[in-house]
Amino acid sequence: MKSIVIIGDGMADYPVPELDGRTPLMAANTPAMDRIAREGRTGLFQTIEEALPTGSAVANLSVLGYDPRTDFQGRGVLEAASLGVTLAPTDMAARINLICVEDGKIRSHSAGHIANEEAHRLIRDLNVHFRDLPITLVPGLSYRHVLVVPNGHPGVACAPPHDHVGERVQDLLVAPRHPQAGPTADLLNRIIRESQDVLRYHPINRQRVAAGQQPANSLWPWSPGKRPQMATFQERFGITGAVITAVDLIKGL
């Protein structure tokens, strides 16, 4: 028997006064989804336990039958897997965004959803700049990329940029959670600061500003971790599966 699981990730939205207090989904005409709900099985599932990070990575680990308390090691390792990056056991991987900083504050976590071609050129040139550091920047999609740090320590506190729009960069810099993580925190903060120097006058950003677009003028690392030791879905349950998604970390899972 084959089953299809459809997850309405983030679909709830907020009530809108112009829609008489309904959410956009409540007001939308959704005959296909209505039929799926009517002829299938529906339900509510608490996918994120208390004290765990809220987000798609933890939630979808739960959906797939894994325990995020032990198997969640950060978004970086999942997105690295989705990009075909093989991590050594000593590698630390982190998600790294191209963001827009304005007046010392995060203006946008996505630099206005920068296009792939522009983003890849920026990441390529940043790799050249950082060639003497023990890091690799792996280009992903739009503003979403991966940072690999050999022998990096994942015990650092990083601020997810989408949760801190409008806040001062200086107040959000990486901090070590353990004394051994100090060098890694210093390295990540160096990457942030030097990326701003490189990107400030980059031709891509000059063109974006001239066109009235947000410049992608800073790197921002977050959600670091090391490769988890997880059995595959087939090993655990004896069945195969596939996923359709627009999100890198789900492909990585």
What pLDDT, on the 0 to 100 scale, is given for residue 93? 97
pLDDT band at 150 (very low <50, low <70, confident <90, very high): very high
For residue 154, what are the contacts with CB-CB under 8 A and spacing of at least 6? 73, 74, 92, 181, 184, 224, 225, 226
Which residues on adjacent β-strands are paired with residue 220? 97
The answer to whether the CB of 203 falls within 8 A of the CB of 215 is no
Average pLDDT, the chain: 93
pLDDT digits (tens, 9 = 90+) for 96-137: 999 999 999 999 999 999 999 999 999 999 999 999 999 999
What pLDDT, on the 0 to 100 scale, is given for residue 9? 74
Torsion over CA: 180, 182, 188, 190 (sign)? negative
pLDDT band at 45 (very low <50, low <70, confident <90, very high): confident
* Distance separating alpha carbons of residues 45 and 52, to the nearest angstrom: 16
pLDDT digits (tens, 9 = 90+) for 54-71: 888 899 999 889 999 989
What pLDDT, on the 0 to 100 scale, is given for residue 176? 97
The answer to whether the CB of 111 falls within 8 A of the CB of 131 is no
What pLDDT, on the 0 to 100 scale, is given for residue 153? 97
Residue 12 scores a pLDDT above 80: no
What pLDDT, on the 0 to 100 scale, is given for residue 230? 86
Evaluate if pTM is beyond 0.75: yes
- pLDDT above 70 covers what percent of the chain? 100
